[in-house]
Structure 1
């Protein structure tokens, strides 16, 4: 019985040592992977890399990691010089084939996601315009609400309004814009059915103002976005990929 007890204690100690070594190896691998991904993808800062699954060492022995999650900061979107932050930029990679030095890593499949909040969308919008949630029905159509004081919008568009119509500039302008994504990095907002305005002859100028594009700058090539949805939090982007090379 005493011998069995000693054996069990020995097994527990070995198990603890294995777990400690395994976690240390994960930490080192995550740090190395973050450095290489930053370099190969041209990122401004190192991403957060989290290697999932246990034990890690047996995955390395098989040259395949079950899952890696990458979170990226410092991504922005730009519209005519107005720059805003893109948040929650993540990539979830599965079935990642690696070599022993982590100089090569190819994911069998990948899912990417990102978010631009309405607050940041408003910062990117033309002068006088605020972008906000349009409600569930319009959100299902991929639309957002674009609104603002008519006078501010016309001023931003450089439109001179005759004196006779100056008093009407206090009215609130509201339109609903359909959001689309092109080429994986360009967000387009296009107004549908502009409201009838009390100031005549300015519809065309207003449409030119509220229709605008944002370009998402600095996305790593591991994240290819192909879908945008409008939610209560803002614009959520997602995309998928296969055979994604993380180190080139």
Structure 2
């Protein structure tokens, strides 16, 4: 009986030591993946990295990680060449193959989400539309029915006109997005002013624009209005991290 108790104690101790070693190895791997992600993506800050799965040591020996989560507080992208910040970019990397000497890692599949706040979207569109007195001013929010709420100002007949809040939608095709203002919901305006406002919407707000600068291997799947801003869904395959 005493020998059995000793054996159990030894097994428990070995189990604890293995778990500690496993967690230390995970911590080291997370630091390495974070450094590689920072280098690959050209980030100014080190991202948060969490390696999933247990035991980790068997994964690292097999040079295959089942899942790694990467979180970025902010990420710089572009809309038609104008800078725009994607916040809360969280990427789930699955089936990571580690290269020779663990110097590279390639994820077979990646899925993620991000956020462009309405304030940031309005700032970027303000730069895209310019400050010309004949142009269109635009801001964004969320309508009560879940659609995009678009606040418009327009220069009409030499005067700045507060058009007001108009519902709309945002559509995605590939990496191109378009803001669609529901012109049927425009407030009552004199015919001449209404015609000019509709023309400005078509010429400026309704232009198809390209989102670029996402991490290599990731592409946009969906853009949906949310409480804080546009919620992005991204996915990709063969996402490569190098040192």
What is the TM-score with the length of structure 2 in the denominator?
0.78
CA contact (8 A) 1:113 1:236 kept: yes
Partner residue of 1:238 out of 216, 233, 239 = 233
122-131 or 38-47, larger mean C-alpha shift: 122-131
User: For residues 209 and 88 of structure 1, do their structure 2 counterparts lie closer, same or farther at Cα, with a shift above 3 Å needed?
Assistant: same
Residue 166 of structure 2 corresponds to residue 175 of structure 1: yes
Partner residue in 1 for 2:131: none
Shift of 1:39: 1.7
Partner residue in 1 for 2:23: 23
Partner residue in 1 for 2:107: 107
Partner residue in 1 for 2:158: 161
CA contact (8 A) 2:79 2:211 kept: no
Task: Report the Cα distance in structure 2 between the residues aligned to 1:239 and 1:81, rounded to whole angstroms.
Answer: 20
Question: C-alpha offsets along residues 55-92 of structure 1, whole Å, 9 cap, x if unaligned?
Answer: 10011122211111111233135568975532121211
Task: Report the Cα distance in structure 2 between the residues aligned to 1:63 and 1:80, rounded to whole angstroms.
Answer: 40
- For structure 2, list consecutive stretches of 5 or more residues without a partner in the other structure: 127-135
User: For residues 43 and 229 of structure 1, do their structure 2 counterparts lie closer, same or farther at Cα, with a shift above 3 Å needed?
Assistant: same
Residue 94 of structure 2 corresponds to residue 94 of structure 1: yes
125-134 or 105-114, larger mean C-alpha shift: 125-134
Shift of 1:7: 1.8
Partner residue in 1 for 2:182: 192
Shift of 1:187: 3.7
Q: How does 1:1-248 map to 2 (within 5 A)?
A: 1-76=1-76, 84-99=84-99, 101-126=101-126, 128-136=137-145, 139=146, 143-148=147-152, 153-155=153-155, 159-161=156-158, 169=161, 172-184=163-175, 186-193=176-183, 195=186, 196-198=188-190, 199-203=193-197, 204-211=199-206, 216=211, 218-247=213-242
Task: Report the Cα distance in structure 2 between the residues aligned to 1:95 and 1:81, rounded to whole angstroms.
Answer: 33
> Counting strand residues as a fraction of each chain, which structure ranks higher?
2
Q: Give the paired residue count.
A: 229
SS in 2 for 1:26: helix
Shift of 1:31: 0.9
SS in 2 for 1:110: strand
RMSD: 2.9
SS in 2 for 1:75: strand
SS in 2 for 1:86: strand
What is the TM-score with the length of structure 1 in the denominator?
0.77
- For structure 1, list consecutive stretches of 5 or more residues without a partner in the other structure: none
223-232 or 122-131, larger mean C-alpha shift: 122-131
